[in-house]
Amino acid sequence: MPTEFSGRPRDALMVRRKIPPPVRPALVIAGFCVLLLYAFLDGQSVGGLRAGPRERFRRNAPYYPTPLFVAEKMLEVAEVGPQDVVYDLGSGDGRIVILAVQKFGARAVGIEIDPTLWQESSCRIAKLGLAERARILHEDMFRVNIRPATVVTLFLLTSVLDELRPQMERELRPGTRIVAQEFGVPGWDPQEVIRVKSETGQSYTIYLYIRP
């Protein structure tokens, strides 16, 4: 079943109010203080997620969708099949989750902290009729138990992978395959490094790891 992935809409409605000039500096200072307060108060709820100071404003990686042919190659390299449970950490628009179910017959779970991407990808999965085998969790990947995974897919910065590594070592079972795009997991030796090129000559690197 063909699936289209479109860009994220960025519609915004701006309401302008005339504020007397003397009041503006006070409002700016007050707004800045509110941001600082949210940054340092631990355990507050943001978008339905409970997070400490580090998690609340952290960006695990800029959102850049994995090209579909690279996503498919990642799943092929991991030899994904109907017996697998794929976890995509930072699942974006859900393309890897959807591919894992549609083309490889697996079950798949995406973890996405961005509320817009979570909602869009969840709706896409529902429209495609894949809800029985695929779902997107609106969660922080550092707070989700990933032990059920038999395959984990990653497209994250090296610094984030380094922070995520202890969790993967603690929770992932022996034999679990981990596939990372572009950035390898620090401290791990890959089983295989695969390089693929697009039709325009753009090169992509895929790292395959298997938990001992």
Cα 38–65–89 angle (5° rounding)?
60
Q: Are 74 and 104 members of one domain?
A: yes
Given a contact cutoff of 8 angstroms between Cβ atoms, the answer to whether 179 and 172 are in contact is no
Q: Report whether pLDDT(165) > 90.
A: yes
Q: Are 126 and 44 members of one domain?
A: no
Mean pLDDT of 132-149: 97
- Residue 79, number of CB atoms within 10 A of its CB: 11
SS3 breakdown of the chain: % helix, strand, coil, rounded to 5? Answer: 35, 20, 45
Q: Are 141 and 169 members of one domain?
A: yes
Given a contact cutoff of 8 angstroms between Cβ atoms, the answer to whether 98 and 130 are in contact is yes
Q: Are 73 and 128 members of one domain?
A: yes
Sign of CA dihedral 70, 76, 80, 82: positive
Across the chain, mean pLDDT equals 79
Q: Is residue 13 part of a domain?
A: no
Q: Are 38 and 105 members of one domain?
A: no
Q: Are 112 and 34 members of one domain?
A: no
Q: Is residue 1 part of a domain?
A: no
Q: Is residue 74 part of a domain?
A: yes
Given a contact cutoff of 8 angstroms between Cβ atoms, the answer to whether 112 and 92 are in contact is yes
Q: Is residue 98 part of a domain?
A: yes
> How many domains would you assign to the chain?
2
Q: Are 130 and 43 members of one domain?
A: no
Question: How does pLDDT run across 22-45, given as a tens digit for each residue?
Answer: 444 444 333 433 333 333 333 333
CA atoms of 21 and 19, how far apart (whole Å): 6
Q: Is residue 185 part of a domain?
A: yes
Q: Are 42 and 98 members of one domain?
A: no
Q: Are 32 and 122 members of one domain?
A: no
Show the domain range for 190.
Answer: 68-210
Q: Is residue 40 part of a domain?
A: yes
Q: Is residue 11 part of a domain?
A: no
Q: Per the confidence metrics, is the pTM higher than 0.95?
A: no
Q: Are 93 and 169 members of one domain?
A: yes
Given a contact cutoff of 8 angstroms between Cβ atoms, the answer to whether 94 and 125 are in contact is yes
Q: Are 50 and 72 members of one domain?
A: no
| pLDDT score for 21 | 45
Q: Are 77 and 120 members of one domain?
A: yes
CATH number of domain containing 119:
3.40.50.150
Q: Is residue 31 part of a domain?
A: yes
Residue 101, token pair as written in the block? 């179910």
Question: How does pLDDT run across 39-91, given as a tens digit for each residue?
Answer: 333 333 322 333 333 333 335 567 888 999 999 999 999 999 999 999 999 99
